Amino acid sequence: MMGRRNNDERSQIQMLSIDDLVPQDHLIRKIDVAIDLSFIYDKVKDLYKPGGRESIDSVVLYKNCYDSIHIRH
């Protein structure tokens, strides 16, 4: 069956917190407490230009990549 977008759904807003979506005992929370990844900022600071649109946080980007490779497989 071919679906069609319902324009009424565009007016619905749902507020979510990522903190609410990740269980308290999830591995990613344990890693976040155990490993300080703030050193990444110093490693990548020279790779960014001073102007333009603000980038994705480097630590968040690393965590997403790590999660995709190591935890979801």
Give 35-40 contacts, CB < 8 A, sequence gap 24+. 37/62, 37/63
Cα distance between the two ends of the chain: 32
What residue spans define the domains of the chain? 17-71
According to DSSP H, which parts of the chain are helical?
A: 18-21, 27-34, 39-44, 58-66
**Exposure b/e, 40-49, CB count within 10 A at least 16 = b:** beeeeeeeee
Whether the predicted model's global pTM rises above the 0.75 cut: no
Task: Give the model's pLDDT for residue 2.
Answer: 66
- pLDDT tens, residue order, the chain (73 aa): 666 776 766 667 778 888 888 889 988 889 889 999 999 999 999 998 888 888 889 998 998 888 888 776 5
| CA atoms 60, 63, 65, 68: torsion sign | negative
Task: Give the model's pLDDT for residue 28.
Answer: 82
